[in-house]
Amino acid sequence: MIHLEDIAESILQGKPLLPLLKDSSENGIFNALSDLGMADIEIQAVLEELLLNAREHGQNKNIMIYMGCHVGWFFAVIRDQGPGIHMTLPKNPRLADTKGKSAAALIRLAVEEGITGTGTVGRGIGLHILSELVSSRRAESLVISDGGLFVQVGDVFLERYARIPTDGTLVAIKVEIQK
Protein backbone atom coordinates (compact mmCIF):
# COMPACT_ATOMS: atom_id res chain seq x y z
CA MET A 1 0.00 0.00 0.00
CA ILE A 2 1.31 3.42 -0.94
CA HIS A 3 0.97 6.04 1.81
CA LEU A 4 -0.27 9.51 0.99
CA GLU A 5 2.81 11.11 2.52
CA ASP A 6 5.06 8.98 0.30
CA ILE A 7 3.17 10.24 -2.73
CA ALA A 8 3.44 13.85 -1.56
CA GLU A 9 7.14 13.52 -0.84
CA SER A 10 7.80 11.84 -4.18
CA ILE A 11 6.34 14.93 -5.85
CA LEU A 12 8.34 17.33 -3.67
CA GLN A 13 11.51 15.35 -4.51
CA GLY A 14 10.78 15.57 -8.23
CA LYS A 15 10.21 11.82 -8.62
CA PRO A 16 6.39 11.64 -8.64
CA LEU A 17 4.69 8.30 -8.05
CA LEU A 18 1.57 9.61 -9.82
CA PRO A 19 1.28 10.83 -13.41
CA LEU A 20 1.14 14.60 -13.96
CA LEU A 21 -1.92 15.87 -15.84
CA LYS A 22 -1.01 17.70 -19.03
CA ASP A 23 -4.12 19.83 -18.66
CA SER A 24 -4.37 21.40 -15.19
CA SER A 25 -7.86 22.81 -15.75
CA GLU A 26 -11.40 21.77 -14.83
CA ASN A 27 -11.59 19.89 -18.11
CA GLY A 28 -8.27 18.16 -17.39
CA ILE A 29 -9.61 16.98 -14.02
CA PHE A 30 -12.87 15.79 -15.61
CA ASN A 31 -11.10 13.88 -18.37
CA ALA A 32 -8.58 12.29 -15.99
CA LEU A 33 -11.34 11.15 -13.61
CA SER A 34 -13.27 9.71 -16.56
CA ASP A 35 -10.17 7.91 -17.84
CA LEU A 36 -9.67 6.40 -14.39
CA GLY A 37 -13.32 5.28 -14.23
CA MET A 38 -13.93 7.72 -11.38
CA ALA A 39 -16.97 9.63 -12.60
CA ASP A 40 -17.66 10.97 -9.12
CA ILE A 41 -19.32 14.40 -8.94
CA GLU A 42 -18.26 15.00 -5.32
CA ILE A 43 -14.58 14.27 -5.97
CA GLN A 44 -14.73 16.42 -9.12
CA ALA A 45 -16.29 19.27 -7.11
CA VAL A 46 -13.67 19.03 -4.34
CA LEU A 47 -10.74 18.90 -6.78
CA GLU A 48 -12.11 21.87 -8.73
CA GLU A 49 -12.46 23.81 -5.48
CA LEU A 50 -8.83 23.05 -4.62
CA LEU A 51 -7.86 24.16 -8.12
CA LEU A 52 -9.68 27.46 -7.53
CA ASN A 53 -7.73 27.83 -4.26
CA ALA A 54 -4.47 27.19 -6.08
CA ARG A 55 -5.35 29.76 -8.72
CA GLU A 56 -6.32 32.42 -6.22
CA HIS A 57 -4.16 31.91 -3.14
CA GLY A 58 -1.33 30.29 -5.08
CA GLN A 59 -1.41 33.27 -7.44
CA ASN A 60 -1.87 30.84 -10.34
CA LYS A 61 1.85 30.01 -10.17
CA ASN A 62 2.86 26.71 -11.72
CA ILE A 63 -0.16 24.64 -10.69
CA MET A 64 0.43 20.90 -11.03
CA ILE A 65 -2.19 18.17 -10.70
CA TYR A 66 -1.32 14.49 -10.30
CA MET A 67 -3.85 11.68 -10.33
CA GLY A 68 -3.91 7.90 -10.34
CA CYS A 69 -5.33 4.70 -8.86
CA HIS A 70 -3.55 1.94 -6.94
CA VAL A 71 -5.00 -1.28 -5.49
CA GLY A 72 -8.52 -0.01 -4.83
CA TRP A 73 -7.61 3.57 -3.92
CA PHE A 74 -7.81 6.81 -5.87
CA PHE A 75 -5.08 9.40 -5.32
CA ALA A 76 -4.90 13.05 -6.38
CA VAL A 77 -2.46 15.85 -5.59
CA ILE A 78 -2.77 19.55 -6.38
CA ARG A 79 0.34 21.63 -5.88
CA ASP A 80 0.92 25.35 -6.34
CA GLN A 81 4.00 27.46 -5.81
CA GLY A 82 2.32 30.52 -4.37
CA PRO A 83 3.18 32.10 -1.00
CA GLY A 84 1.61 29.30 1.11
CA ILE A 85 -1.10 29.19 3.78
CA HIS A 86 1.22 30.65 6.44
CA MET A 87 1.49 33.81 4.33
CA THR A 88 -2.11 34.17 3.12
CA LEU A 89 -4.12 33.30 6.23
CA PRO A 90 -2.70 36.04 8.51
CA LYS A 91 -3.79 38.61 5.89
CA ASN A 92 -7.40 38.08 6.94
CA PRO A 93 -8.01 41.12 9.18
CA ARG A 94 -10.72 39.23 11.10
CA LEU A 95 -8.34 36.47 12.21
CA ALA A 96 -6.59 37.85 15.25
CA ASP A 97 -5.22 34.55 16.54
CA THR A 98 -2.76 33.52 13.83
CA LYS A 99 0.33 35.03 15.48
CA GLY A 100 2.68 32.53 17.02
CA LYS A 101 0.93 29.52 15.51
CA SER A 102 2.99 26.84 13.78
CA ALA A 103 2.63 26.27 10.03
CA ALA A 104 0.73 23.04 10.75
CA ALA A 105 -1.63 24.80 13.18
CA LEU A 106 -2.36 27.42 10.53
CA ILE A 107 -3.26 24.68 8.06
CA ARG A 108 -5.56 23.15 10.70
CA LEU A 109 -7.21 26.55 11.11
CA ALA A 110 -7.62 26.92 7.33
CA VAL A 111 -9.54 23.63 7.22
CA GLU A 112 -12.30 25.03 9.45
CA GLU A 113 -15.49 26.26 7.84
CA GLY A 114 -15.42 29.87 6.67
CA ILE A 115 -11.73 30.46 7.45
CA THR A 116 -10.03 32.20 4.56
CA GLY A 117 -7.09 34.39 3.69
CA THR A 118 -9.43 36.86 2.03
CA GLY A 119 -11.67 37.74 4.96
CA THR A 120 -14.59 37.79 2.52
CA VAL A 121 -18.04 36.57 3.55
CA GLY A 122 -18.88 33.13 2.19
CA ARG A 123 -15.28 32.16 1.45
CA GLY A 124 -13.08 29.52 3.06
CA ILE A 125 -14.67 26.55 1.36
CA GLY A 126 -12.03 24.50 -0.46
CA LEU A 127 -10.08 22.86 2.37
CA HIS A 128 -13.25 22.58 4.44
CA ILE A 129 -15.18 20.54 1.87
CA LEU A 130 -12.08 18.40 1.38
CA SER A 131 -12.30 17.70 5.12
CA GLU A 132 -16.01 16.90 4.81
CA LEU A 133 -15.35 14.48 1.96
CA VAL A 134 -12.67 12.72 4.03
CA SER A 135 -15.08 12.49 6.98
CA SER A 136 -17.86 11.03 4.85
CA ARG A 137 -15.86 8.38 2.96
CA ARG A 138 -13.03 5.95 3.60
CA ALA A 139 -10.47 8.59 2.76
CA GLU A 140 -7.41 10.54 3.87
CA SER A 141 -6.08 14.00 3.11
CA LEU A 142 -2.75 15.67 3.61
CA VAL A 143 -1.77 19.33 3.31
CA ILE A 144 1.81 20.59 3.32
CA SER A 145 2.52 24.30 3.36
CA ASP A 146 5.79 25.93 4.39
CA GLY A 147 7.19 23.51 7.00
CA GLY A 148 3.84 22.33 8.31
CA LEU A 149 1.98 19.13 7.61
CA PHE A 150 -1.66 18.41 8.39
CA VAL A 151 -3.19 14.96 7.96
CA GLN A 152 -6.83 13.87 8.25
CA VAL A 153 -7.87 10.22 8.30
CA GLY A 154 -11.65 9.98 8.65
CA ASP A 155 -12.37 12.21 11.63
CA VAL A 156 -8.86 12.01 13.10
CA PHE A 157 -6.46 14.95 12.66
CA LEU A 158 -2.69 15.18 13.01
CA GLU A 159 -0.45 18.24 12.90
CA ARG A 160 3.32 18.07 12.70
CA TYR A 161 6.39 19.34 10.89
CA ALA A 162 6.80 18.23 7.27
CA ARG A 163 9.81 16.03 6.53
CA ILE A 164 10.19 17.93 3.26
CA PRO A 165 9.08 21.57 3.47
CA THR A 166 7.67 23.20 0.35
CA ASP A 167 7.17 26.60 -1.09
CA GLY A 168 3.50 27.07 -1.92
CA THR A 169 0.91 24.51 -0.91
CA LEU A 170 0.48 20.83 -1.66
CA VAL A 171 -2.88 19.15 -1.07
CA ALA A 172 -3.23 15.38 -1.45
CA ILE A 173 -6.23 13.10 -1.17
CA LYS A 174 -6.72 9.35 -1.08
CA VAL A 175 -10.22 7.88 -1.46
CA GLU A 176 -11.33 4.26 -1.52
CA ILE A 177 -12.76 3.41 -4.92
CA GLN A 178 -16.43 2.56 -4.54
CA LYS A 179 -17.42 -0.67 -6.26
Partner 1 sequence: MIIDLRDYAGEFCSSRTDPSIPALRQCVRNALLQGDIVQVSRKRIKSITVSFLDEWLGPIIVELGLERVRKEVRFDPPLEPILAKQLERSSRLRTQQPG
Q: Which among 163, 156, 125 is positioned nearest to 140, based on CA atoms?
A: 156
27 contacts partner 1 (rule: CB under 8 A): yes
71 contacts partner 1 (rule: CB under 8 A): no
176 contacts partner 1 (rule: CB under 8 A): no
131 contacts partner 1 (rule: CB under 8 A): no
What whole-number distance in Å separates Cα of residue 65 and Cα of residue 8?
Answer: 12
Closer CB to partner 1, 12 or 78, in the complex = 78
Closer CB to partner 1, 123 or 138, in the complex = 123
Whether the Cβ atoms of residue 40 and residue 13 lie closer than 8 Å to each other: no
What whole-number distance in Å separates Cα of residue 147 and Cα of residue 169?
Answer: 10
Which of the ranges 11-19, 23-31, 75-83, 171-179 carries the binding residues for partner 1, by CB under 8 A? 23-31
Which of the ranges 59-67, 70-78, 127-135, 142-150 carries the binding residues for partner 1, by CB under 8 A? 127-135
What whole-number distance in Å separates Cα of residue 72 and Cα of residue 138?
Answer: 11
Q: Which residues share a beta bridge with 156?
A: 153
37 contacts partner 1 (rule: CB under 8 A): no
Q: What is the DSSP string of 144-168?
A: EEEEEEEEEETTEEEEEEEEEEEEE
CB of 67 to partner 1, least distance (A): 15
19 contacts partner 1 (rule: CB under 8 A): no
Cα dist from 75 to 2, 35, 95, whole Å: 10, 14, 32
Subset of residues 84 to 123 that bind partner 1, contact rule: CB under 8 A = 92, 94-95, 112-116, 119-123
CB of 44 to partner 1, least distance (A): 5
